[in-house]
Copies of this chain bind each other. A is one copy, B any other.
């Protein structure tokens, strides 16, 4: 499964564990601006007691094209009603395709037939590679790409958060005992991992906790 260090992938991992999968977690050092995300992925891998956690280094910066890997500024303080209509500048070109391709390679070596990814269609319809039709098309392609497909085996891409709201995800994670204070959603955290409170990811996360009626354990650097 893909483990980013964020709230969504932590919840996805907890769902996979509940459903009795043995979790092999994969994270990427892809030239993202900050290390806080990978630090969080390491903490979550421990917290969730995964079987194995690997971090693969890939250079998506080589191609440029995103506020998360390049020099484009991360937008701040946009109202959530404005999010999800256009493709945001924080979109990393073909990121989920690249990440799932690596997960597929590892799954094939492990003999696993189940990939997990924490994409969510409702909050981030602005990202083309978070849409349910993308996940379904990747699954179809992946079956044809691998031994499993040739030999008649199954291969599934699980995206259990696909149709949940951020509030539902937070409630699910809390019910499953995930310590959400370990997760980092912010696109622009401080060196100490404190969230900016103003980027699109922080906005959606704050509103999610509020809507779920659950106290937000996030450390914000701009808010007391």
Contacts and interface: CB of A to CB of B under 8 A. Distances in A.
Interface of A: 54, 56-60, 62-65, 87, 91-98, 100-102, 104-106, 108-109, 128-129, 131, 133-134, 137-138, 140-142, 144-147, 149-150
Contacts of A137: 137, 140-141, 144-145
Contacts of A59: 56-57
Specify how many copies of this chain sit in the oligomer: 2
Chain A contact residues, majority secondary structure: helix
A128 B105 contact: no
A144 B62 CA distance: 23
Contacts of A109: 63-65, 93
Contact of A97 (B62, B131, B141): B141
Given A56-B62, A140-B141, A146 B105 contact: no
Given A128-B150, A137-B140, A140-B137, A60 B105 contact: yes
A141 B150 contact: no
Given A137-B141, A141-B140, A93 B146 contact: yes
A109 B63 CA distance: 7
Nearest to A143: B137
A91 B64 CA distance: 30
A108 B54 CA distance: 27
A140 B63 CA distance: 22
Q: Quick one: which of A94, A134, A140, A144 has the most chain B CB within 10 A?
A: A94
Contacts of A65: 105, 108-109
Given A137-B141, A141-B140, A145-B94, A54 B58 contact: no
Contacts of A104: 93-94, 97
A101 B105 contact: no
